[in-house]
Each structure stands twice: as structure tokens, then as C-alpha cells.
Amino acid sequence: MNAAKTLISLSLATLLTACAHHNNVRPSDSGEHYVKLTAQTKSEAGNEALKQSKHFCDEQDKKAYVLNENITYVGSMPEEAYLQNLNIASAVETAGTVLWVLGENAVDDVGAAMSIGGGIAEDSMGQPYELVMSFTCR
């Protein structure tokens, strides 16, 4: 009985995650579809939009073609300050990870704290880039 419940649970989880590959796509009857999402960086936004549009069109055995793309910074601090803080947090996280892995005694504890703290700092800055992309499937 437990094996059957586990199998059903895993099947449901697989189905639910399979449908989420293009959750930001806004389909249209006209054939011009939209992706609207936010991300931490411009490149993350662009990559995610392309991935979702490709998956959406793949389900129709078609290929995605981008018609228009607009990325806007909507953060609460100036963009230059945001990017500087993001780079600092990333550097602290990376340095901390190296110390955590290679350090001994108190050094690896400090590294763990730096790595975790840098990751938290990155996450706390949110996703200030908003992307709207239109595409078609052919």
C-alpha cells in the first residue's frame, strides 16, 4: 500500500512540475504570445524568457521566434548601486565557499558564514529586472 501511495505522489509531483516550464507565458489567439517575468539580472531574465517560449512552442511541435523584447530596471535603489551590491554579495559568497571547503578549524566556520551571508544578501536584493517579450511559434 505504501509503495502505491509513493508512486502516485511521485507521479503527481512530476506532472505538476512538468506543467510549470512556461508559467510566465501569456498565450494569445492572434499567435503573438508574451512572456512577462522578473529576474535578478538582465541575462537571467532573457535566458528564462527564451527557455519558456521555446518550451511553449515545443509543445506544439513548433519553433519560437522572438518578435520584441524589453527589459526594464524597476528596483528601489539606483541600478548602478544595485549592480555593485550584487557583485559584492556574489564575491563574498564565492570567497566564503572557498574558505569553507578548503579551510580548517575556525577558518571553515567563517567561510560558511560568509558563503551563507553572501547568498542571503543576494536573495534579499530581489529581482529588479522586468522583462516583457513577445514571440510567435512557427
**CB-CB neighbours of 133 under 10 Å:** 25
Cα dist from 79 to 41, 75, 119, whole Å: 11, 7, 19
pLDDT score of 20:
55
Find the largest Cα–Cα distance for the chain: 63
pLDDT score of 11:
52
pTM of the full predicted structure? 0.73
pLDDT score of 14:
52
Cα dist from 89 to 4, 93, 106, 124, 138, whole Å: 46, 6, 21, 10, 42
Nearest to 70 by CA among 101, 51, 49: 49
* Under 8 Å between Cβ of 135 and 62: no
Q: What is the mean pLDDT of each run of 10 residues along the chain (138 residues)?
A: 53 51 91 96 96 96 97 96 92 85 80 82 88 97
pLDDT score of 103:
77
* Domain extents in the chain: 25-103+125-137
**CB-CB neighbours of 94 under 10 Å:** 13
pLDDT score of 63:
97
pLDDT score of 61:
97
b/e per residue 39-75 (b: at least 16 CB within 10 A)? bbeeeebbebbbebbbebbeeeeeebeeeeeebeeee
pLDDT score of 29:
93
pLDDT score of 117:
83
